[in-house]
Structure 1
């Protein structure tokens, strides 16, 4: 589009880099959330087993 054509190459590069970093951060955050959920499930099982 003309908006992208109007941007200087350095500005366009910075926008792409920022987008990639944000995407990577989102993926890492989601993975940490999954790991935390798995750890909490394991902890719940341990606590349940200790009660029995």
Structure 2
């Protein structure tokens, strides 16, 4: 049933959101005051591996 699938996906999204919050908190502790600039740099591809 579609409703059951939707509820299951909603639960998965909530769990992923919790995991993201935990990961962000750990990241911010590790990176300190540089957390947000570092996150932006990684998002912009500045730390991609090159061959």
Give the TM bin, normalised by the shorter chain: 0.5 to 0.7
Kindly tell me the number of residue pairs found equivalent between the two proteins. Answer: 33
Task: Provide TM-score, normalisation by structure 1.
Answer: 0.59
Q: Which has the higher contact order (CA 8 A, sep 6+)?
A: 1
Where in structure 1 do 4 or more consecutive aligned residues deviate above 3 Å?
none
Return the structure number with greater helix share. Answer: 1
**In terms of Rg, which structure is larger?**
1
Unaligned runs of 5+ in 2: 33-51
Provide the aligned C-alpha RMSD in A: 1.4
TM-score normalised according to structure 2 size: 0.60
Question: Tell me, which stretches of 5 or more residues in structure 1 are unaligned?
Answer: 1-16
